[in-house]
Amino acid sequence: MNKWIVIAVSIALVLSFTLVYLLSPNDSDYLARYTPENYITVAAIDVPLDGIRELDVVSSLFPFSYKTVTMDIGQLEIRVNKNISGNLLDFMRQNLNTELFSVPESGTRLNLEISFPRPVRNYMAETFGIVRIFEHYDELMEEHAEFMICIPENYKLVD
């Protein structure tokens, strides 16, 4: 038995645990990263502001996640979180394509399609997935989103 290897590995393991813990923010700091102020607009699209209307995000934003927020704005806006490591903001300003289609049969419904012409890779250093069985942590994790789609108040998002 090489005692010193065992001791070194044990120390490394304990250090790993401590480092992950120390590198992690507490819940309130984490939540503060995902408040609307932390998202910056990378695309704004003119949309009709009359009547009750529906919006459907028909494309997949994989590998990113997004949340939708209804707010008092005059355009449909795609915003990007500024706290993501790597220059996601500039990358999306240069590479984000958005297209809006109206669905003629409905008269009130719009389909939003978002795409990136260049391939992107996204890595999420996630916590243990098991914590999502608890409502509190599930909601906490759900707060994470690289994108925020802001829609005017007369729009309702189609599930």
Partner 1 sequence: MLSQNSRLRAMKSLLYSYYVDFKSFYGIYIGIMTGLLLSKFALSSSASGSSSLSAGLVSGVFMLPIAMIIITSNSELLKKFSFPVDRNMLVLSHIILILVLPVIMLLTSCGFHLLETLAAELTLSVAENFFYTWVITKDSFLVGFAMSYIIMVCIGGITWMVFSWFYRHKIATSVVCGTFLLALVYLRDFRDAFLKLINFIFYSPTPGILFLKLSAITLISFAAGYIPIKRMEVK
Site for partner 1 in 69-108 (CB under 8 A): 83-88, 91
Residue 14 Cβ vs partner 1, minimum distance, rounded to whole Å: 7
66 counts as binding partner 1 under rule CB under 8 A = no
User: CA 110 to CA 26: how far, in whole Å?
Assistant: 39
Q: 51 or 119, CB closer to partner 1?
A: 119
Q: 100 or 131, CB closer to partner 1?
A: 131
Residue 98 Cβ vs partner 1, minimum distance, rounded to whole Å: 18
Q: 38 or 108, CB closer to partner 1?
A: 38
32 counts as binding partner 1 under rule CB under 8 A = no
User: CA 95 to CA 118: how far, in whole Å?
Assistant: 7
- What are 97's strand-pairing partners? 115
User: CA 7 to CA 17: how far, in whole Å?
Assistant: 16
User: CA 114 to CA 62: how far, in whole Å?
Assistant: 10
Closest CA to 57 of 115, 116, 114, 112: 112
Residue 121 Cβ vs partner 1, minimum distance, rounded to whole Å: 5
On the CB side of 33, CA atoms within 13 Å amount to 19
User: CA 79 to CA 67: how far, in whole Å?
Assistant: 10
Q: Of these, 32, 45, 71, 131, which contacts partner 1 (CB under 8 A)? A: 131
**Which positions touch partner 1 (CB under 8 A)?**
1, 12-14, 16-17, 19-21, 23-27, 29-30, 62-63, 83-88, 91, 118-131, 133-134, 137, 140-141, 144, 146
